[in-house]
Structure 1
Amino acid sequence: MAMFKTDPVRPDAYREFERPLPEWFRGAALGIFVHWGPYSVPAWAEPTGELGAVPREEWYAHNPYAEWYANTMRIEGSPAQMHHERVHGGAPYDDFLDAWKAEDFDADEVLAVVAATGAGYFIPTTKHHDGVTLWDAPGTDGRNTVARGPRQDLIGAFADATRAAGLRFGVYYSGGLDWHFSGLPPIEHDDDPAPDDLAYAEYAHDHVIDLIDRYRPDILWGDIRWPVAGIEPGPKSLAHAFQTFYERVPDGVVNDRWGESHWDFRTSEYVHGTAVEVGEAWENTRGIGLSFGHNRNETNEHLLSAHEAVRLLVDVVSRGGNLLLNIGLEASGRIPELQRQTLEGIGVWNRHYGHAVVGARPEGRMPASDEPWIRWTRTDDAVHAVVDQTGPVRLPDPDRVLDESTARIGERHVTAERVDGGILVDVEDAVTPVAISFRTRD
């Protein structure tokens, strides 16, 4: 699969879809992901660690992703299985679908919080690995949120609210796994089987076409891969889905988790797959916590603070990527309070310094530093040093790229003087990390 491969190869039949990455995506800097489903009812996982930091032999039985509950609860002897027996009496997973009421859900309210972060796009899950669709998808025989549980077209509500808020809208779709459709045993190892047959490939194809026809998403965000039987071009193939997408949305983009087929940008997840973080067509995704789905076991120690999230955003943009930061809604439809605090803090920072990340590119002439913490970006008329420090700050500039007389923090001119191959700026009374902007001498 293309997911996390350093050098995936496009089949010849998919080369027709290659195109320049649209500027709206390249310059977005920040997207907000949301995972929400029946798994939000138990909302349980072990907060063991980040993907890429937990040993693979431990990952599945001790999965920190609450959205994997339907898998983890079936692994013999796993803590999730013991929790499920103790708390839910071993009930069928679909009982959670019927218990999921989304009684406090207001898409406009969620998107108001999302838009206030300064994000450029928003992507909800439309079908995760449990196979439950958040719209009345074809062929689901009522196993969707219109017929059961919330009894709403949640994707339609998100699409309308996203566009009303002025953001681009994307859809996540799990093509590589569907535990309900396939009926396969739980996944306990990386090489355990996934659904690859023609029946599933055509079922998934019809879902993606329906999403395109109904909601005209700007982003198709696939996950895991695509069933092998659906790769070869044909009337119900992935190639047909991509052709339909680009006809309907010419400036749309797709990620690289559709198997080894086609992609407009690469993806990494937490600290896994970071070898793809090169150039300027990649995206790092992670939850605010260790899970994408809401996990009641997560506390402040497991979640990014606003300060940590801002540093991650700046670091990603300074290296050429976008950050897709996930929130896991509660079953009721509300944003968990600790996650809301992080989002609001990002928004405060972006209102001060968003000009240093939105529409920005890496500034390769200036070296990043961790002591003090400095990251560099550039826009059309400025170079920005984002510094996590107050008081006197020395910015290295041995090649005299920067014009120290133009130093600004936001709209405020600040005094800067050239010393010992660098520029000394006194940073006071600023929201940190602080962005110090300069015009260049060239």
Structure 2
Amino acid sequence: MVNPTWDSLDSRPLPSWYDESKFGIFCHWGAYSVPAYRSEWFWWYWKGSNPDPDVVRWMNKNYKPDYSYADFAKDFTAEMFNPKQFADIVQASGARYFVLTSKHHEGFTMWPSRTSWNWNAVDIGPKRDIVGQLKEAFKSTNVHYGLYFSQFEWFNPMFLDDGKYNTTVYTDQVSFPQMIEIVNKYKPEVIWSDGEWDRTDDYWKSKDFLAWLYNTSPVKDTVVVNDRWGAGTAGKHGGFMTFQDHYTPGKLVTRKWENCLTLDRQSWGNRRNMTSSEVLSVFEILREIATTVSCNGNVLLNVGPDMHGLIPTIFEDRLRELGLFLYTHSEALYGTKPWTYQIDTVGDTWYTSRYRNQPNDDFYNKQIEGETIIYAWILKTSVDTIVLNRVTATVQTKITVMSTNKVITPTAGKTISIASSDIPWKDLQRRDAVILKIEYAASDNHNPLDDDLTTPPPRRNLKIKKGKGHKGDYSRI
């Protein structure tokens, strides 16, 4: 039993399935998929407190003067939507969980919410219960089903009045009932909260909701939540930490965290003017997975379906190609833990690990000669020699080039050095990423907790543009 206090809520153990899954697919889909211009923040750019001139010009050029944002929902028909196709693509990607935007900041709900009359996917547009139909489709897969939920709505009069009069009408009548509704009706195993940043967790009734979720809800034993539950909670309170979008610390984080990023570098929602060069490559995704999982994180990779209900073909191609690699190298990913080192001293090599026999309740694996299996994710392959300075060989050390039958015996008593000519490149699925399985390496007493874990290095720039939120610049979804 947990109490509605952060000390109590934060002490609730994270269900093990989430850490073991490592990789999930995010899906931003809503009325903003109809204009499909700029990003899912289209309505705010058009009608917010500081309209974007480019978006205003685009609307004036392409739509009649009396066109409203609500009119977009009529064209959000999703006539090509096949929930089983969504589930098939997600499962083929190697993802082990899926998170759908049940409601974004526009307030349009993808289920027939009792508190969103005529502004939901059943009353208008698709006239289908998108949340429910996808839930049903994923039942036949090994993918956990989750829901994103925006706490606030840009232009909801009740939300705006609460800010003026210091009341909680919107929370009491809209956001809180909607969260209870989606949990009771769809039983999601992930609740991904967002849009909370301007008001306190007390305003959102977050602690009360989470206490109910963990104690008596139908998913109390399996559900996981993120850390966006009120101003100042990100990176501090909740289940897993997101800190900020595209968070990639590059070093071990003691608390479970998630790196959420987009296949389209420019937007989370669908864009009709997206170009192929703006879509992450499979190698870039693999690099995000390696650098994230080695540091105790999960990756949540976003796709934005179009207004017709289709995941863009280029996204599908990326996900299916990615899945071929992940399934072939699944042993190095699912159910692993960070190793005593996260990155090597040379090249671009990251480590995951597992114990051969003994259980481990810690967040990383120590290096024990006969017990620890190391997986070295080699992401710089255009070298004459692959050097692993963090791994010392013994007379028993065995190195297997994963996805092949090639076994390499290193020199005992030395750090590992492998000539490029010893790698069977022609047998590999990819030549830009290689994973080595290393068994019976020498024990090492290094403790990553002795390293500086407090100040993360600068984030790697994936060239993802920031937009402007309702109170200035944002890097939030």
User: TM-score range, shorter-chain basis?
Assistant: 0.7 to 0.9
Which residue in the other structure is 2:468 paired with? none
RMSD: 2.8
Which residue in the other structure is 1:55 paired with? none
Matched, 1:167 2:161: no
Structure 1 residues 421 and 76: alpha-carbon distance in aligned structure 2, compared to 1, 3 A threshold: closer
For each residue in 1:147-181, what CA deviation from the matched residue of structure 2 results, as whole angstroms up to 9, or x when unmatched? 10000000001111122212111110000344334
Q: Which moved more, 1:287-296 or 1:207-216?
A: 287-296
Matched, 1:224 2:217: no
State the one-letter code of the partner of 2:178. Answer: H
State the one-letter code of the partner of 1:212. Answer: V
Which residue in the other structure is 1:41 paired with? 34
1: distance between equivalents of 2:170 and 2:190? 22
* Aligned-partner SS, 2:134: helix
- Deviating above 6 A after TM superposition, structure 1's stretches of 4 or more consecutive aligned residues are 193-196
Deviation at 1:384, TM superposition (A): 0.5
2: distance between equivalents of 1:398 and 1:25? 28
Matches within 5 A, 1:36-75: 36-45=29-38, 66-74=39-47, 75=50
Q: Residue 384 of structure 1 is aligned with which of 356, 375, 383? A: 375
Which residue in the other structure is 1:29 paired with? 22
Q: Residue 409 of structure 1 is aligned with which of 388, 402, 407? A: 402
* Aligned-partner SS, 1:231: helix
Q: Which moved more, 1:208-217 or 1:409-418?
A: 409-418
Matched, 1:14 2:6: yes
* Aligned-partner SS, 1:208: helix
Which residue in the other structure is 1:258 paired with? 229
State the one-letter code of the partner of 1:98. Answer: K
* Aligned-partner SS, 1:363: strand
Is the CA contact (8 Å cut-off) linking 1:329 and 1:336 kept in structure 2?
yes
Structure 1 residues 272 and 194: alpha-carbon distance in aligned structure 2, compared to 1, 3 A threshold: farther
Is the CA contact (8 Å cut-off) linking 1:268 and 1:285 kept in structure 2?
no
* Aligned-partner SS, 2:14: coil
Which residue in the other structure is 1:144 paired with? 120
Structure 1 residues 275 and 196: alpha-carbon distance in aligned structure 2, compared to 1, 3 A threshold: farther
2: distance between equivalents of 1:288 and 1:194? 38
Structure 1 residues 131 and 181: alpha-carbon distance in aligned structure 2, compared to 1, 3 A threshold: farther
Deviation at 1:136, TM superposition (A): 0.8
Which residue in the other structure is 1:395 paired with? 387
* Aligned-partner SS, 2:208: helix
Matches within 5 A, 1:18-417: 18-45=11-38, 66-74=39-47, 75-76=50-51, 78-90=53-65, 91-182=67-158, 197-202=167-172, 203-225=174-196, 228=199, 231=202, 237-246=205-214, 247=216, 248-249=218-219, 250-259=221-230, 260=232, 262-271=237-246, 278-289=253-264, 290-365=266-341, 367-368=343-344, 372-381=347-356, 382-388=373-379, 389=381, 392-397=384-389, 400=392, 404-410=397-403, 412-417=405-410
Q: Which has the higher contact order (CA 8 A, sep 6+)?
A: 1
* Aligned-partner SS, 2:341: coil
2: distance between equivalents of 1:330 and 1:104? 10
Identity %: 25
Deviation at 1:409, TM superposition (A): 1.8
For each residue in 1:169-220, what CA deviation from the matched residue of structure 2 results, as whole angstroms up to 9, or x when unmatched? 11100003443345759xxxxxxx7997411111100000000100111111
2: distance between equivalents of 1:241 and 1:378? 36
2: distance between equivalents of 1:217 and 1:279? 26
Which residue in the other structure is 1:190 paired with? none
Which residue in the other structure is 1:59 paired with? none
2: distance between equivalents of 1:153 and 1:213? 15
2: distance between equivalents of 1:386 and 1:272? 20
2: distance between equivalents of 1:315 and 1:87? 43
2: distance between equivalents of 1:126 and 1:424? 49
For each residue in 1:27-65, what CA deviation from the matched residue of structure 2 results, as whole angstroms up to 9, or x when unmatched? 2110100000111011001xxxxxxxxxxxxxxxxxxxx
Count of residue pairs the alignment pairs up: 402
Q: Which moved more, 1:275-284 or 1:350-359?
A: 275-284
**TM-score under structure 1 normalisation?**
0.83
Structure 1 residues 395 and 169: alpha-carbon distance in aligned structure 2, compared to 1, 3 A threshold: same
For each residue in 1:219-247, what CA deviation from the matched residue of structure 2 results, as whole angstroms up to 9, or x when unmatched? 11000217747726xxx933332233222
1: distance between equivalents of 2:275 and 2:164? 33
Matched, 1:433 2:433: yes
* Aligned-partner SS, 1:44: coil
Deviation at 1:71, TM superposition (A): 0.3
State the one-letter code of the partner of 2:94. Answer: G
2: distance between equivalents of 1:226 and 1:82? 30
* Aligned-partner SS, 1:105: coil
Q: Which moved more, 1:21-30 or 1:145-154?
A: 21-30
2: distance between equivalents of 1:397 and 1:229? 47
2: distance between equivalents of 1:219 and 1:244? 15
Gaps of 5+ in 2: 357-372, 444-477
Q: Which moved more, 1:68-77 or 1:164-173?
A: 68-77
